[in-house]
Structure 1
Protein backbone atom coordinates (compact mmCIF):
# COMPACT_ATOMS: atom_id res chain seq x y z
CA UNK A 1 0.00 0.00 0.00
CA UNK A 2 1.01 3.56 -0.66
CA UNK A 3 1.47 5.49 2.61
CA UNK A 4 0.93 8.88 0.99
CA UNK A 5 -2.39 7.73 -0.44
CA UNK A 6 -3.39 6.24 2.91
CA UNK A 7 -2.62 9.57 4.55
CA UNK A 8 -4.88 11.36 2.08
CA UNK A 9 -7.69 8.92 2.86
CA UNK A 10 -7.23 9.53 6.59
CA UNK A 11 -7.07 13.30 6.13
CA UNK A 12 -10.27 13.27 4.09
CA UNK A 13 -12.12 11.08 6.59
CA UNK A 14 -14.16 7.97 5.83
CA UNK A 15 -17.77 6.85 5.88
CA UNK A 16 -19.57 3.67 4.89
CA UNK A 17 -22.97 2.00 4.63
CA UNK A 18 -23.29 -0.63 7.37
CA UNK A 19 -26.14 -2.48 5.66
CA UNK A 20 -24.20 -2.63 2.40
CA UNK A 21 -21.12 -4.09 4.13
CA UNK A 22 -23.15 -6.82 5.86
CA UNK A 23 -25.02 -7.62 2.64
CA UNK A 24 -21.74 -8.03 0.72
CA UNK A 25 -20.37 -10.20 3.53
CA UNK A 26 -23.43 -12.45 3.33
CA UNK A 27 -23.05 -12.83 -0.43
CA UNK A 28 -19.35 -13.58 -0.03
CA UNK A 29 -20.12 -16.15 2.66
CA UNK A 30 -22.73 -17.89 0.54
CA UNK A 31 -20.39 -18.22 -2.43
CA UNK A 32 -17.95 -20.34 -0.38
CA UNK A 33 -20.25 -21.46 2.45
CA UNK A 34 -18.91 -25.01 2.75
CA UNK A 35 -15.30 -23.83 2.97
CA UNK A 36 -16.09 -21.08 5.47
CA UNK A 37 -18.15 -23.39 7.68
CA UNK A 38 -15.58 -26.18 7.37
CA UNK A 39 -12.77 -23.88 8.45
CA UNK A 40 -14.86 -22.60 11.35
CA UNK A 41 -15.52 -26.18 12.46
CA UNK A 42 -11.78 -26.83 12.32
CA UNK A 43 -11.04 -23.75 14.44
CA UNK A 44 -13.70 -24.80 16.95
CA UNK A 45 -12.19 -28.29 17.11
CA UNK A 46 -8.69 -26.94 17.75
CA UNK A 47 -9.91 -24.60 20.47
CA UNK A 48 -11.92 -27.39 22.11
CA UNK A 49 -8.90 -29.70 22.02
CA UNK A 50 -6.72 -27.14 23.78
CA UNK A 51 -9.44 -26.34 26.34
CA UNK A 52 -10.17 -29.98 27.18
CA UNK A 53 -6.82 -31.70 26.80
CA UNK A 54 -4.16 -28.98 26.91
CA UNK A 55 -5.62 -26.28 29.18
CA UNK A 56 -2.17 -25.19 30.36
CA UNK A 57 -1.21 -24.39 26.77
CA UNK A 58 -4.37 -22.50 25.76
CA UNK A 59 -2.62 -19.16 26.21
CA UNK A 60 0.13 -20.32 23.84
CA UNK A 61 -2.50 -21.17 21.23
CA UNK A 62 -4.06 -17.73 21.62
CA UNK A 63 -0.71 -16.00 21.19
CA UNK A 64 1.11 -18.07 18.58
CA UNK A 65 -1.52 -19.91 16.52
CA UNK A 66 -4.83 -18.04 16.66
CA UNK A 67 -3.73 -14.85 14.82
CA UNK A 68 -2.49 -16.52 11.60
CA UNK A 69 -5.34 -19.04 11.71
CA UNK A 70 -8.22 -16.55 11.96
CA UNK A 71 -6.53 -14.30 9.38
CA UNK A 72 -7.20 -17.12 6.95
CA UNK A 73 -10.68 -15.64 6.58
CA UNK A 74 -9.18 -12.32 5.48
CA UNK A 75 -6.90 -13.97 2.93
CA UNK A 76 -9.68 -16.09 1.44
CA UNK A 77 -11.95 -13.03 1.37
CA UNK A 78 -9.26 -11.23 -0.61
CA UNK A 79 -9.10 -14.07 -3.12
CA UNK A 80 -12.88 -14.05 -3.43
CA UNK A 81 -12.89 -10.30 -3.95
CA UNK A 82 -10.28 -10.66 -6.71
CA UNK A 83 -12.25 -13.53 -8.29
CA UNK A 84 -9.30 -15.86 -7.76
CA UNK A 85 -9.54 -19.61 -7.28
CA UNK A 86 -10.06 -20.57 -3.63
CA UNK A 87 -8.68 -23.78 -2.17
CA UNK A 88 -9.07 -24.86 1.46
CA UNK A 89 -5.32 -24.57 1.99
CA UNK A 90 -5.60 -20.82 1.35
CA UNK A 91 -7.02 -20.47 4.85
CA UNK A 92 -3.56 -21.31 6.18
CA UNK A 93 -1.75 -18.63 4.19
CA UNK A 94 -1.72 -16.50 7.32
CA UNK A 95 1.29 -18.49 8.46
CA UNK A 96 3.29 -16.77 5.73
CA UNK A 97 3.00 -13.65 7.90
CA UNK A 98 3.28 -15.54 11.19
CA UNK A 99 5.80 -13.43 13.09
CA UNK A 100 4.34 -10.05 12.15
CA UNK A 101 0.79 -11.20 12.92
CA UNK A 102 1.78 -12.67 16.28
CA UNK A 103 3.72 -9.58 17.38
CA UNK A 104 1.05 -7.15 16.17
CA UNK A 105 -1.76 -9.09 17.80
CA UNK A 106 0.15 -9.50 21.07
CA UNK A 107 1.26 -5.88 21.37
CA UNK A 108 -2.11 -4.42 20.36
CA UNK A 109 -3.84 -6.73 22.87
CA UNK A 110 -1.50 -5.60 25.65
CA UNK A 111 -2.13 -1.94 24.79
CA UNK A 112 -5.92 -2.54 24.77
CA UNK A 113 -5.77 -4.26 28.19
CA UNK A 114 -3.73 -1.39 29.59
CA UNK A 115 -6.32 1.00 28.15
CA UNK A 116 -9.14 -0.91 29.85
CA UNK A 117 -7.28 -0.75 33.15
CA UNK A 118 -7.05 3.02 32.65
CA UNK A 119 -10.74 3.81 33.27
CA UNK A 120 -12.07 1.35 30.63
CA UNK A 121 -12.95 3.93 27.95
CA UNK A 122 -9.42 4.15 26.47
CA UNK A 123 -9.47 0.38 26.09
CA UNK A 124 -12.80 0.46 24.25
CA UNK A 125 -11.47 3.22 22.00
CA UNK A 126 -8.40 1.13 21.13
CA UNK A 127 -10.36 -2.11 20.79
CA UNK A 128 -12.33 -0.50 17.97
CA UNK A 129 -9.36 1.47 16.70
CA UNK A 130 -7.16 -1.57 16.14
CA UNK A 131 -9.73 -3.59 14.18
CA UNK A 132 -7.71 -3.27 10.96
CA UNK A 133 -4.17 -3.65 12.32
CA UNK A 134 -3.75 -7.29 11.21
CA UNK A 135 -5.07 -6.43 7.76
CA UNK A 136 -2.49 -3.67 7.40
CA UNK A 137 0.18 -6.26 8.25
CA UNK A 138 -1.05 -8.69 5.59
CA UNK A 139 -2.12 -6.39 2.78
CA UNK A 140 0.02 -3.36 3.51
CA UNK A 141 3.23 -5.10 4.52
CA UNK A 142 3.71 -2.73 7.46
CA UNK A 143 5.38 -3.42 10.81
CA UNK A 144 3.33 -3.79 13.99
CA UNK A 145 3.45 -0.16 15.14
CA UNK A 146 2.72 1.33 11.72
CA UNK A 147 -0.17 -1.12 11.27
CA UNK A 148 -1.60 -0.26 14.69
CA UNK A 149 -1.33 3.47 14.13
CA UNK A 150 -2.75 3.38 10.60
CA UNK A 151 -5.71 1.37 11.86
CA UNK A 152 -6.30 3.67 14.82
CA UNK A 153 -6.02 6.84 12.78
CA UNK A 154 -8.30 5.51 10.04
CA UNK A 155 -10.96 4.48 12.55
CA UNK A 156 -10.59 7.73 14.48
CA UNK A 157 -11.90 9.69 11.48
CA UNK A 158 -15.38 8.25 12.17
CA UNK A 159 -15.02 6.34 15.44
CA UNK A 160 -18.71 6.40 16.36
CA UNK A 161 -19.66 4.76 13.05
CA UNK A 162 -17.00 2.08 13.54
CA UNK A 163 -18.26 1.52 17.08
CA UNK A 164 -21.75 0.88 15.70
CA UNK A 165 -20.18 -1.48 13.16
CA UNK A 166 -18.37 -3.41 15.91
CA UNK A 167 -21.50 -3.49 18.06
CA UNK A 168 -23.51 -4.83 15.11
CA UNK A 169 -21.01 -7.67 14.65
CA UNK A 170 -21.17 -8.42 18.37
CA UNK A 171 -24.96 -8.63 18.24
CA UNK A 172 -24.76 -10.78 15.12
CA UNK A 173 -22.59 -13.30 16.98
CA UNK A 174 -24.85 -13.15 20.02
CA UNK A 175 -27.71 -14.25 17.78
CA UNK A 176 -25.47 -17.01 16.42
CA UNK A 177 -24.67 -18.13 19.97
CA UNK A 178 -28.31 -18.17 21.00
CA UNK A 179 -29.12 -20.34 17.97
CA UNK A 180 -27.77 -23.35 19.91
CA UNK A 181 -24.26 -22.05 19.07
CA UNK A 182 -24.61 -23.59 15.59
CA UNK A 183 -25.27 -20.14 14.22
CA UNK A 184 -21.69 -19.19 15.09
CA UNK A 185 -20.59 -21.33 12.14
CA UNK A 186 -22.16 -18.62 10.00
CA UNK A 187 -21.83 -15.47 12.08
CA UNK A 188 -18.13 -15.77 12.96
CA UNK A 189 -16.99 -16.14 9.32
CA UNK A 190 -19.35 -13.30 8.39
CA UNK A 191 -17.69 -11.13 11.03
CA UNK A 192 -14.24 -11.57 9.49
CA UNK A 193 -15.60 -11.17 5.96
CA UNK A 194 -17.37 -7.95 6.98
CA UNK A 195 -14.18 -6.50 8.47
CA UNK A 196 -12.25 -7.41 5.32
CA UNK A 197 -14.86 -5.92 2.98
CA UNK A 198 -14.94 -2.68 4.96
CA UNK A 199 -11.13 -2.52 5.02
CA UNK A 200 -10.93 -3.07 1.27
CA UNK A 201 -13.54 -0.43 0.50
CA UNK A 202 -11.81 2.16 2.66
CA UNK A 203 -8.25 1.51 1.46
CA UNK A 204 -8.74 0.44 -2.16
CA UNK A 205 -7.44 3.78 -3.47
CA UNK A 206 -4.16 3.23 -1.61
CA UNK A 207 -3.54 -0.23 -3.04
CA UNK A 208 -0.52 -0.59 -5.30
CA UNK A 209 -1.61 -1.90 -8.69
CA UNK A 210 0.53 -4.45 -10.58
CA UNK A 211 2.21 -1.82 -12.81
CA UNK A 212 3.04 0.34 -9.83
CA UNK A 213 4.35 -2.68 -7.91
CA UNK A 214 6.78 -3.47 -10.75
CA UNK A 215 8.02 0.13 -10.62
CA UNK A 216 8.57 -0.11 -6.87
CA UNK A 217 10.49 -3.35 -7.28
Structure 2
Protein backbone atom coordinates (compact mmCIF):
# COMPACT_ATOMS: atom_id res chain seq x y z
CA UNK A 1 0.00 0.00 0.00
CA UNK A 2 1.09 3.55 -0.73
CA UNK A 3 1.15 5.66 2.48
CA UNK A 4 0.61 8.83 0.46
CA UNK A 5 -2.56 7.45 -1.10
CA UNK A 6 -3.81 6.33 2.29
CA UNK A 7 -3.26 9.85 3.60
CA UNK A 8 -5.20 11.21 0.63
CA UNK A 9 -8.10 8.91 1.52
CA UNK A 10 -7.94 10.10 5.12
CA UNK A 11 -7.84 13.75 4.07
CA UNK A 12 -10.84 13.27 1.78
CA UNK A 13 -12.86 11.42 4.43
CA UNK A 14 -14.73 8.15 3.99
CA UNK A 15 -18.30 6.88 4.01
CA UNK A 16 -19.86 3.48 3.43
CA UNK A 17 -23.11 1.55 3.36
CA UNK A 18 -23.29 -0.78 6.37
CA UNK A 19 -25.96 -2.98 4.79
CA UNK A 20 -23.87 -3.42 1.66
CA UNK A 21 -20.81 -4.41 3.71
CA UNK A 22 -22.78 -7.01 5.66
CA UNK A 23 -24.27 -8.43 2.48
CA UNK A 24 -20.83 -8.83 0.90
CA UNK A 25 -19.52 -10.42 4.09
CA UNK A 26 -22.40 -12.89 4.02
CA UNK A 27 -21.53 -13.81 0.42
CA UNK A 28 -17.93 -14.50 1.47
CA UNK A 29 -19.19 -16.57 4.38
CA UNK A 30 -21.43 -18.72 2.19
CA UNK A 31 -18.55 -19.31 -0.21
CA UNK A 32 -16.73 -21.39 2.42
CA UNK A 33 -19.34 -21.76 5.17
CA UNK A 34 -18.13 -25.14 6.40
CA UNK A 35 -14.52 -23.89 6.58
CA UNK A 36 -15.49 -20.73 8.50
CA UNK A 37 -17.62 -22.67 10.96
CA UNK A 38 -14.98 -25.36 11.39
CA UNK A 39 -12.23 -22.85 12.12
CA UNK A 40 -14.45 -20.96 14.55
CA UNK A 41 -15.17 -24.26 16.29
CA UNK A 42 -11.43 -24.83 16.69
CA UNK A 43 -11.03 -21.34 18.16
CA UNK A 44 -13.93 -21.91 20.55
CA UNK A 45 -12.60 -25.32 21.59
CA UNK A 46 -9.15 -23.84 22.21
CA UNK A 47 -10.62 -21.07 24.35
CA UNK A 48 -12.67 -23.59 26.31
CA UNK A 49 -9.62 -25.79 26.84
CA UNK A 50 -7.65 -22.92 28.34
CA UNK A 51 -10.63 -21.75 30.40
CA UNK A 52 -11.34 -25.14 31.95
CA UNK A 53 -7.98 -26.91 32.05
CA UNK A 54 -5.37 -24.15 31.93
CA UNK A 55 -7.20 -21.35 33.72
CA UNK A 56 -3.97 -19.80 34.98
CA UNK A 57 -2.70 -19.52 31.41
CA UNK A 58 -5.74 -17.96 29.71
CA UNK A 59 -3.79 -14.74 29.24
CA UNK A 60 -1.23 -16.68 27.20
CA UNK A 61 -3.96 -17.67 24.76
CA UNK A 62 -5.39 -14.14 24.60
CA UNK A 63 -2.02 -12.51 24.03
CA UNK A 64 0.00 -15.05 22.06
CA UNK A 65 -2.50 -17.19 20.13
CA UNK A 66 -5.77 -15.31 19.57
CA UNK A 67 -4.33 -12.50 17.37
CA UNK A 68 -2.85 -14.95 14.85
CA UNK A 69 -6.08 -16.95 14.74
CA UNK A 70 -8.12 -13.80 14.11
CA UNK A 71 -5.68 -12.80 11.38
CA UNK A 72 -6.50 -16.11 9.73
CA UNK A 73 -10.03 -14.93 9.00
CA UNK A 74 -8.69 -11.76 7.36
CA UNK A 75 -6.21 -13.67 5.23
CA UNK A 76 -8.85 -16.13 4.05
CA UNK A 77 -11.24 -13.24 3.36
CA UNK A 78 -8.54 -11.72 1.17
CA UNK A 79 -8.14 -14.96 -0.77
CA UNK A 80 -11.88 -15.30 -1.26
CA UNK A 81 -12.18 -11.68 -2.36
CA UNK A 82 -9.37 -12.19 -4.90
CA UNK A 83 -11.08 -15.43 -6.02
CA UNK A 84 -8.03 -17.46 -5.06
CA UNK A 85 -8.07 -21.09 -3.96
CA UNK A 86 -8.67 -21.53 -0.22
CA UNK A 87 -7.54 -24.54 1.75
CA UNK A 88 -8.34 -25.01 5.44
CA UNK A 89 -4.69 -24.58 6.37
CA UNK A 90 -4.86 -21.00 5.07
CA UNK A 91 -6.71 -20.06 8.25
CA UNK A 92 -3.47 -20.64 10.12
CA UNK A 93 -1.45 -18.32 7.88
CA UNK A 94 -1.89 -15.65 10.53
CA UNK A 95 1.03 -17.25 12.36
CA UNK A 96 3.26 -16.04 9.52
CA UNK A 97 2.60 -12.56 10.91
CA UNK A 98 2.72 -13.69 14.53
CA UNK A 99 5.03 -11.04 16.01
CA UNK A 100 3.33 -8.19 14.17
CA UNK A 101 -0.27 -9.11 15.03
CA UNK A 102 0.59 -9.95 18.64
CA UNK A 103 2.31 -6.58 19.04
CA UNK A 104 -0.56 -4.68 17.43
CA UNK A 105 -3.13 -6.50 19.54
CA UNK A 106 -1.16 -6.04 22.77
CA UNK A 107 -0.28 -2.35 22.38
CA UNK A 108 -3.69 -1.31 21.07
CA UNK A 109 -5.33 -3.29 23.86
CA UNK A 110 -3.20 -1.63 26.54
CA UNK A 111 -3.92 1.85 25.19
CA UNK A 112 -7.63 1.09 24.97
CA UNK A 113 -7.75 -0.16 28.56
CA UNK A 114 -5.84 2.90 29.76
CA UNK A 115 -8.33 5.07 27.90
CA UNK A 116 -11.23 3.32 29.60
CA UNK A 117 -9.62 3.70 33.03
CA UNK A 118 -9.03 7.39 32.31
CA UNK A 119 -12.43 8.65 31.22
CA UNK A 120 -14.09 5.67 29.47
CA UNK A 121 -14.79 7.72 26.34
CA UNK A 122 -11.12 7.73 25.16
CA UNK A 123 -11.12 3.95 25.53
CA UNK A 124 -14.24 3.56 23.39
CA UNK A 125 -12.75 5.94 20.83
CA UNK A 126 -9.56 3.86 20.57
CA UNK A 127 -11.39 0.51 20.60
CA UNK A 128 -13.23 1.57 17.44
CA UNK A 129 -10.27 3.49 16.04
CA UNK A 130 -7.92 0.51 16.02
CA UNK A 131 -10.32 -1.82 14.21
CA UNK A 132 -8.17 -1.85 11.04
CA UNK A 133 -4.75 -1.85 12.74
CA UNK A 134 -4.10 -5.54 12.17
CA UNK A 135 -5.26 -5.27 8.56
CA UNK A 136 -2.92 -2.36 7.82
CA UNK A 137 -0.07 -4.37 9.29
CA UNK A 138 -0.80 -7.54 7.31
CA UNK A 139 -1.84 -6.11 3.96
CA UNK A 140 -0.08 -2.76 4.06
CA UNK A 141 3.25 -4.07 5.29
CA UNK A 142 3.51 -1.36 7.96
CA UNK A 143 5.01 -1.59 11.44
CA UNK A 144 2.71 -1.86 14.45
CA UNK A 145 2.58 1.85 15.34
CA UNK A 146 2.06 3.06 11.78
CA UNK A 147 -0.69 0.47 11.35
CA UNK A 148 -2.42 1.62 14.53
CA UNK A 149 -2.20 5.30 13.62
CA UNK A 150 -3.40 4.79 10.06
CA UNK A 151 -6.39 2.86 11.38
CA UNK A 152 -7.18 5.48 14.00
CA UNK A 153 -6.92 8.37 11.54
CA UNK A 154 -9.03 6.59 8.92
CA UNK A 155 -11.77 5.73 11.41
CA UNK A 156 -11.73 9.23 12.88
CA UNK A 157 -12.83 10.68 9.53
CA UNK A 158 -16.29 9.21 10.16
CA UNK A 159 -16.04 7.84 13.71
CA UNK A 160 -19.77 7.72 14.50
CA UNK A 161 -20.48 5.70 11.36
CA UNK A 162 -17.77 3.22 12.31
CA UNK A 163 -19.11 3.13 15.85
CA UNK A 164 -22.54 2.26 14.46
CA UNK A 165 -20.95 -0.48 12.35
CA UNK A 166 -19.17 -1.96 15.39
CA UNK A 167 -22.37 -1.73 17.44
CA UNK A 168 -24.30 -3.68 14.80
CA UNK A 169 -21.60 -6.35 14.76
CA UNK A 170 -21.74 -6.51 18.57
CA UNK A 171 -25.52 -6.95 18.52
CA UNK A 172 -25.14 -9.60 15.83
CA UNK A 173 -22.82 -11.61 18.07
CA UNK A 174 -25.07 -11.17 21.09
CA UNK A 175 -27.85 -12.66 18.99
CA UNK A 176 -25.46 -15.49 18.11
CA UNK A 177 -24.88 -16.18 21.80
CA UNK A 178 -28.57 -16.17 22.51
CA UNK A 179 -29.12 -18.70 19.73
CA UNK A 180 -27.98 -21.51 22.03
CA UNK A 181 -24.40 -20.18 21.75
CA UNK A 182 -23.82 -22.11 18.50
CA UNK A 183 -24.93 -19.04 16.59
CA UNK A 184 -21.52 -17.47 17.18
CA UNK A 185 -20.03 -20.13 14.91
CA UNK A 186 -21.65 -18.07 12.18
CA UNK A 187 -21.76 -14.53 13.57
CA UNK A 188 -18.10 -14.30 14.62
CA UNK A 189 -16.74 -15.30 11.18
CA UNK A 190 -19.20 -12.91 9.52
CA UNK A 191 -17.94 -10.17 11.84
CA UNK A 192 -14.32 -10.56 10.77
CA UNK A 193 -15.28 -10.96 7.13
CA UNK A 194 -17.30 -7.73 7.35
CA UNK A 195 -14.36 -5.85 8.84
CA UNK A 196 -12.15 -7.10 6.02
CA UNK A 197 -14.70 -6.20 3.34
CA UNK A 198 -14.99 -2.67 4.74
CA UNK A 199 -11.21 -2.30 4.93
CA UNK A 200 -10.77 -3.47 1.36
CA UNK A 201 -13.46 -1.12 0.10
CA UNK A 202 -12.03 1.91 1.89
CA UNK A 203 -8.40 1.32 0.87
CA UNK A 204 -8.83 0.00 -2.67
CA UNK A 205 -7.39 3.21 -4.15
CA UNK A 206 -4.22 2.85 -2.06
CA UNK A 207 -3.20 -0.67 -3.06
CA UNK A 208 -0.10 -1.26 -5.15
CA UNK A 209 -0.18 -1.79 -8.88
CA UNK A 210 1.43 -4.95 -10.25
CA UNK A 211 3.57 -4.80 -13.43
CA UNK A 212 0.54 -5.95 -15.39
CA UNK A 213 -1.47 -3.06 -13.97
CA UNK A 214 -3.49 -5.24 -11.63
CA UNK A 215 -4.15 -4.09 -8.07
CA UNK A 216 -3.35 -6.32 -5.13
CA UNK A 217 -3.98 -5.90 -1.44
CA UNK A 218 -2.09 -8.95 -0.28
CA UNK A 219 1.56 -9.26 0.71
CA UNK A 220 1.64 -13.04 1.15
TM-score, normalising length from structure 2?
0.95
Q: Where in structure 2 are there 5+ consecutive unaligned residues?
A: 215-220
- Aligned-pair CA distance for 1:210: 1.8
**1:92 to 2:92 alignment:** yes
Separation in structure 2 between the aligned mates of residue 117 and residue 182 of structure 1, nearest angstrom: 33
- Aligned-pair CA distance for 1:209: 2.1
- Bigger shift: 202-211 or 167-176? 202-211
Separation in structure 1 between the aligned mates of residue 71 and residue 187 of structure 2, nearest angstrom: 16
Deviations 1:120-157 (A, max 9, x none): 00000000000000001100011111000000000000
Matches within 5 A, 1:43-122: 43-122=43-122
**1:30 to 2:30 alignment:** yes
**Greater than 3 Å deviation, 4+ residue runs:** none
Q: Where in structure 1 are there 5+ consecutive unaligned residues?
A: none
Separation in structure 2 between the aligned mates of residue 203 and residue 12 of structure 1, nearest angstrom: 12
Separation in structure 1 between the aligned mates of residue 95 and residue 206 of structure 2, nearest angstrom: 25
RMSD: 1.0
Aligned length: 213
Which residue of 2 is the match for residue 13 of structure 1? 13
**1:159 to 2:167 alignment:** no
Separation in structure 1 between the aligned mates of residue 204 and residue 84 of structure 2, nearest angstrom: 17
Separation in structure 1 between the aligned mates of residue 53 and residue 39 of structure 2, nearest angstrom: 21
SS in structure 2 at match of 1:142 = coil
Deviations 1:93-144 (A, max 9, x none): 0111110111111000000000001110000000000000000110001111
